[in-house]
Structure 1
Amino acid sequence: MEDSMDSMPTEESALELYEQLSALWLKAGMCARKWLSNSRIVLENIPQKERAKEVNLDTSYLPTTKALGVTWQAEEDVFTFKLNKNVSSVPTVRKRNLLKRVASLFDPLGFLSPYIVKGKILLQQFWLGRYDWDDRVSSNLTDKTMEWLDDLPVLNKVIIPRSLSFNDSKNPSLNVFVEEAYGTAVFMRSKNQDDDISVKFVCSKTRVSPLTAVNIPRLELMAAVLGLRLALTVTKAIVMSMIKVTFWTDSANVIHWISNESRRFKPFVAHRIGEIHTYSAPKQWRYVSTTDNPADIASRRTTAEDLVQNTLWWNGDVTTEDLLDPERFSDWSRLLRVTAWVKRFADNFRNTNDRNKNSVLTVKELQEAENLLIHKAQVKQYPEEYSSIVKGQPIPRNSKLIPLNVKIDEQGMMRCDTRLTHARFLPYDVRYPIILPRKSPVTRLLVKSFHEEGNHYGTNQTLAAMSSRYWFNFVLM
């Protein structure tokens, strides 16, 4: 009998599960033991002889234990990896020693995929070199292997929240990224009751490219199928409809294939496109740039230190496309319009069946472009504050934003929660002014635009015109 893990929304339901499972095992003449929870209330209602031996409720902290090969810190409710300090030391670089180290990294959910896949690629090179288990290897392979091994202790810094906690979220969805290295990564995107957006890493899976020659488009298609299969597994585990899954790829070929009928292609492509069409709709597949694709990290030369600090891997968000650099523009109106055109092009490329062919930009498109520019400026200037708010944590005590009682709206913009919150007769943007970073080029262009309008039309007329625009209501920090 192996260990088992489960999550329950409340302490009451957790205790009910304990009682039901205990009664079920008792009918078979067995007793379930080693119970451990991140709740002291639950543990207090479980007999001591049935708790995990590490549990001591007289101490101020809950224990750390192994769960399905991964270390679980019950007190913080996070997953970590505990590797021996000597794990990176090997007497000599041999195929046997490398395989032993790669196999020792048990990572069923793929938290460490970008790092582990490098070890698998090294193993593949050992096989290609026709080395036996204890043969000496070339100096080049030796250096690469030692570089990979030296990174192993750094994995102790990895900390992953255990709970996805989307039961009380609004419109939770899965976003699956695929890449030709080839691999896939799954993220849960949801909003809480205050419309704050949360993006959490769920799992990933990687594959080493086969030794037989396979062209890049076919590898990208194989990655798409891998992403589809992983999504099917995840949606089954968390009881979610596949309709709520969005797939992202940086391959235009894959998007083209999926948008057409499978019978138009040769067997290799046709069989895989057929499987994709069976479980998903073409409109669920969208394009993302390579730089914004978390799954691409698996194909890069990622070190353990880079992986630990890589926010795209741990908090990948499909809305973080880099469109244009505001530093290159001297006019706010031009930046706004160019951004809107680029955004329309990207949206049309993703949604081939529902393209916007208007010859002029709509007010909505300009509004979305403006929101995107302001959002990116805020995230760039206040990354720690933004990340803390999204995670539901207090912002750093030394932050300038502390007095503003910051909230994040549906567009992902940071706003000031003022004392006018309950003044329903006022517009939303007056009650919740947008926060703009003082030194941002976006802010500079906005202020310059207002100033130039004031010189042209007169200050009073400009103020009256600007008061009808929501972005006139902002706080400079």
Structure 2
Amino acid sequence: MADIQAMYHQVHVSEKHINFLCFLWWPGGDTSQSPLEHCMKVHFYGAVSSPSCANYALRRTADDNAQHFPHEVVNTVKCNFYVVDCLKSVASEEEAVQMVKDVTALCHKGGFNLSKWISNSRTVLLSIAGDCRAKEVMELDLDVDQLPMERALGLQWCIQTDKFKFRTSAQEQPQTRRGILSVVSSLYDPLGFLAPFTMPAKLLLQELCRRRLGWDEVIPHSLSKKWFEWLEDLQKVAEFNVDRCVKPRDFGDPATVQLHHFSDPSQVGYGTVSYLRLEKDDRVQVAFLLGKARVAPLKQTTIPRLELTASVLAVRVDKMLQKELQLNLEKSVFWTDSTTVLKYICKGTRRFQTFVANRVSIIREAADADQWRYVGSKENPADDASRGMRAENFLKGRRWINGPKLLCEPKEVWPKLDADLDVIPAVNSVVVDFESATDRLLCYFSSWTRLKTSVAWFLKVKRTLVLLGQKRKELCASADLNKDKLETQEHAAERKIQSFKATLKGQSLTPEDLEKAGQSIIQYVQEHKFKAEIASLKNGCKNVSKGSPLYRLDLVMDNGILRVGGRLDKAALPAESKHPVILSKDLHVSVLILCHIHHQLGHAGRNHMLSRLRQRYWIINANSAARRVISDCVVCRRNRGKLIEH
């Protein structure tokens, strides 16, 4: 590892651009004199353009001198630099020594001087001039002294043991949302080694968001206890370490290199973890590469959808690793414990809902169906990330870092996708629909007028059938039982019934029919929504239980319909205004009534809607219901939308 000394100052600015980097300065720093105008001829720290210009110059240096250096050296300069830092691993000390010389020479061609070299090999450090080594090893006796610890924010590289560790001495912060976020963010973990451990802290932050606490508002005592427990666990993480190198030194060149990705969700979050599997002869090496843990959305969603979301995350991680790893990789393998996801992927040509279809499309574009395999929930390491772990369990159980035992077994014993789906026990399920035909009818219509019209016709047909039945009974009862006259009387009765049908056929709906239909609908939904309250009133109780949402409305029954009571009996108001009909805001009928009023008033505002509504109806929490109706109205959204500015 090394960095480029004063990288930006080594890159000159063209003559036509130096006027963009002008500044004023006093001669000799004497502020009593008039300032002079100066121009920067090189790029400087703080300019937005400096990083991209400096990196372009470095890559251009590699391209211009590609013929004079090995391909591996040129590729190192182009792919292993992050701004001023270079990080490179090679198989042997001899290669490392030569790589240091060649990379230094190549960068020098462009005016870049490499310094602050550090390595886990003493031989490599001895081959580097003392003034070019990192400050930590510059004065060490490399034959005797122990190699130091290299720090990068919260991540530590123990050069002596070649392991990664974590610094967990977080600064004391207030118990607020801002303070908690500061502590959690200070734990620098770009590769996700500690993803299962940090998950509980992320869930705590999400809970604070759910409760809408301010950034500097003190958190409740119940959550404060969880936060202190996590801080105590944070101190134990100092014991955690993981090998930097993914391949043992004596492993040699692997015959096959393959990425394996595991994904899993839970009610609170979802996660993925990726491993690199190296195989040579009968020897298998599995190494942790990258882990991610994310909290589930605040909006409640189903587990199958979270499983699909986790699978999409695994596919995107694979795409990124395929691009970054400079290895000859075989086809990646994706593991999930969700048979639902596997069936979605296998039946990718079927039509799904938009949410499912979009994510299945992403998965199928990045990977083939035969790359997906089933893994049992108990063997899935991604389960650790989706649920989170305490520090003690995380340190004891090394499955997250070492990978599942399944990967150490030969490929021949891995279950195939088709076999997995066949092994899944067949479950015959019967969906029992308890929704009545009347409920389906009420939810079918999107207009209050159409619903009343439909119900009115049903009621008219019902009355007609009842009348026909009564007419038939009357005609049959008046008929003479004499067998000789029976046939003639039956024909006469049939003619009278047909005449009665013709009379009914020409009928149409009247306002009274629509009014009765509306009352029937209200009575039906009230009987299903307010069963306990209606039963209480029918039993002679004047008041309902205090836990009822109708407790404060002084209920009265009027022809089987619940209405608001009160002291407006003697007021000079219509009866419906004095005692409006009670409805709940979560009823489909309530939404239809609000939409009907909204359209009647020419898409008026909320207050006007509520004023008209309360002339006949009392919808519980009508304010929020009216607001939702207005927000869902296409006409209102179009009329009140912001104009596009060019």
Fold-level similarity (TM above 0.5):
yes
Relative distance call for 1:268 and 1:167 in structure 2 (3 A) is farther
- 8 Å CA contact retained: 2:270, 2:387: no
Number of the residue aligned with 1:198: 285
Deviation sequence 1:380-438 (CA, Å, 0-9, x none): xxxxxxxxxxxxxxxxxxxxxxxxxxxxxxxxxxxxxxxxxxxxxxxxxxxxxxxxxxx
Distance 2:294 2:420 in 1: 32
State yes or no: 1:38 paired with 2:130.
Answer: no
Deviations 1:419-477 (Å, cap 9, x if unpaired)?
xxxxxxxxxxxxxxxxxxxxxxxxxxxxxxxxxxxxxxxxxxxxxxxxxxxxxxxxxxx
Aligned to 1:295: 382
Aligned residue type for 1:216: I
C-alpha contact 2:259 2:331 (8 A) present in aligned 1: yes
Deviation of 1:244 after TM superposition, in Å, equals: 3.0
Contact 1:232 1:242 in 2 (8 A): no
The answer on 1:170 being equivalent to 2:237 is no
1:157 aligns to 2:239 (yes or no) = yes
Structure 1 position 256, deviation (Å) = 0.7
Confirm or deny: 8 A CA contact 1:264 1:270 kept in the other structure.
Answer: yes
Equivalent residue in structure 1 for 2:275, among 184, 187, 203: 187
- Counterpart of 1:211 in 2: which secondary structure? coil
Is the Cα contact below 8 Å between 1:292 and 1:320 reproduced in 2? no
Which of 49, 53, 73 is 2:135 aligned to? 53
- Quickly say closer, same or farther: Cα 1:142–1:205, change in 2 above 3 A: same
For residues 354-389 of structure 1, give each alpha carbon's deviation from its aligned partner in whole angstroms, at most 9, with x where no partner exists: 969xxxxxxxxxxxxxxxxxxxxxxxxxxxxxxxxx
**Of 200, 204, 229, which aligns to 1:122?**
204
The equivalent residue for 1:347 is 415
Is 1:139 matched with 2:221? Answer: yes
User: In the aligned structure 2, how far is the partner of 1:75 from the partner of 1:222?
Assistant: 41
Contact 2:292 2:385 in 1 (8 A): no
Amino acid at match of 2:151: K
Pair 1:68–1:273, CA change in 2 (3 A): farther
Q: How does 1:422-461 map to 2 (within 5 A)?
A: none
Q: Which residue of 1 aligns with 2:325?
A: 238
More moved, 45-54 vs 58-67: 58-67
Note closer, same or farther for the CA distance 1:72–1:353 as it changes in structure 2 (3 Å cut). Answer: closer
Say if 2:309 is the partner of 1:222. yes
Report the equivalent of 1:248: 335
Whole-angstrom distance in 1 between the partners of 2:111 and 2:329: 40
Verify: 1:275 aligned to 2:362, yes or no.
yes
In structure 1, the residue corresponding to 2:389 is in which secondary structure? Answer: coil
SS in 1 for 2:135: coil
Q: Per the alignment, do residues 123 and 262 of structure 1 end up closer, same or farther by CA in structure 2, a change over 3 Å counting?
A: farther
Q: 1:211 aligns with which of 295, 298, 301?
A: 298
Instruction: For 2:87, give the aligned amino acid.
Output: M
Q: 1:242 to 1:212 in 2, by over 3 A?
A: farther
Deviation at 1:49, TM superposition (A): 0.8
Deviations 1:129-153 (A, max 9, x none): 1111221222111111111111111
User: Residues of 2 paired with 1:354 and 1:148: CA distance?
Assistant: 40
* Superposition deviation, residue 267 in structure 1: 2.1
- The answer for the alignment partner of 1:383 in structure 2 is none
Size of the aligned set, in residue pairs, is: 330
Find the residue that maps to 2:356 and give its secondary structure: helix
> 1:347 is paired with a residue of what secondary structure?
coil
Q: Which one-letter code corresponds to 1:188 in the other structure?
A: L
Instruction: Name the CA shift for 1:167/1:274 in 2 (closer, same or farther; >3 Å).
Output: farther
**In the alignment, what sits opposite 2:51?**
none
Larger radius of gyration: 2
> What corresponds to 1:451 in structure 2?
none
**Contact 1:183–1:205 at 8 Å: present in 2 too?**
yes
Matched ranges for 1:87-106 at <5 A: 87=170, 89-90=172-173, 92-106=174-188
- Contact in 1 for aligned 2:337/2:380 (Cα 8 Å): yes
Unaligned 5+ runs, structure 2: 1-82, 424-646
The farther-off stretch of 68-77 and 312-321 is 312-321
Could you say what secondary structure the match of 1:169 adopts?
A: coil
**Matched residues in 2 for 1:212 and 1:312: separation?**
31
The change in CA–CA distance for 1:229 and 1:199 in structure 2 (over 3 A counts) is: same
Distance 1:28 1:242, change over 3 A: closer
Q: How far apart are 1:196 and its partner, in Å?
A: 2.6
CA contact (8 A) 1:5 1:67 kept: no
Distance 1:234 1:156, change over 3 A: same
Q: Deviations over 1:194-240 (max 9, x none)?
A: x2322221111122111123211111111101111111222222234
Of all paired residues, the percent bearing the same amino acid is 37
Aligned equivalents of 1:318, 1:81: Cα separation in 2: 26
The question of whether the paired residues in 1 share the 8 Å contact of 2:157 and 2:164 is answered with yes
Q: Secondary structure at the match of 2:112?
A: coil
The one-letter code matched in structure 1 to 2:127 is N
Q: Is the 8 A contact 2:293 2:386 kept in 1?
A: no
1:408 maps to none
Check 1:167–1:210 CA distance in 2 against 1; reply closer, same or farther (3 A cut). Answer: farther
Shift of the 69–51 alpha-carbon distance from structure 1 to 2, 3 Å rule, reads: farther
> Which residue does 1:319 correspond to in 2?
406
What code does the residue aligned with 1:83 have?
T
**Cα contact 1:243–1:280 (8 A) shared by 2:** no
Separation in 1, partners of 2:130, 2:350: 63
- Give the alignment partner of residue 82 of structure 1, picking from 164, 167, 186: 167
Letter in 1 for 2:264: E
Structure 2 contact 184–201 (Cα < 8 Å) conserved:
yes
1:109 pairs, out of 165, 178, 191, with 191
Give the SS at the match of 1:264.
Answer: coil
Q: Displacement of 1:264 after TM fit?
A: 1.9
CA offset at residue 167 of structure 1? 5.9
TM-score (norm 1): 0.64
Contact 1:37–1:74, Cα closer than 8 Å, also in 2: yes
Distance 1:106 1:6, change over 3 A: same
Partner SS, residue 164 of structure 1: coil
Tell me the SS of whatever aligns to 1:265. Answer: coil
Q: 1:2 to 1:207 in 2, by over 3 A?
A: farther
Q: Which has the higher contact order (CA 8 A, sep 6+)?
A: 1
> After the TM superposition, which of the residue ranges 59-68 and 148-157 deviates more from structure 2?
59-68
| Aligned-pair Cα RMSD in Å | 2.7
Partner AA of 2:273 in structure 1: A
Q: Which amino acid aligns with 1:77?
A: D
- Say which is worse superposed, 169-178 or 233-242, in terms of deviation: 233-242
Q: Distance in 2 between matches of 1:149 and 1:88?
A: 11
TM-score (norm 2): 0.48
**Structure 1 residues 315 and 11: alpha-carbon distance in aligned structure 2, compared to 1, 3 A threshold:** same
Aligned residue identity for 2:358: H
Contact 1:188–1:202 (8 Å) recurs in 2: yes
Q: 1:80 to 1:10 in 2, by over 3 A?
A: same
Task: Name the SS of the counterpart of 2:256 in structure 1.
Answer: strand
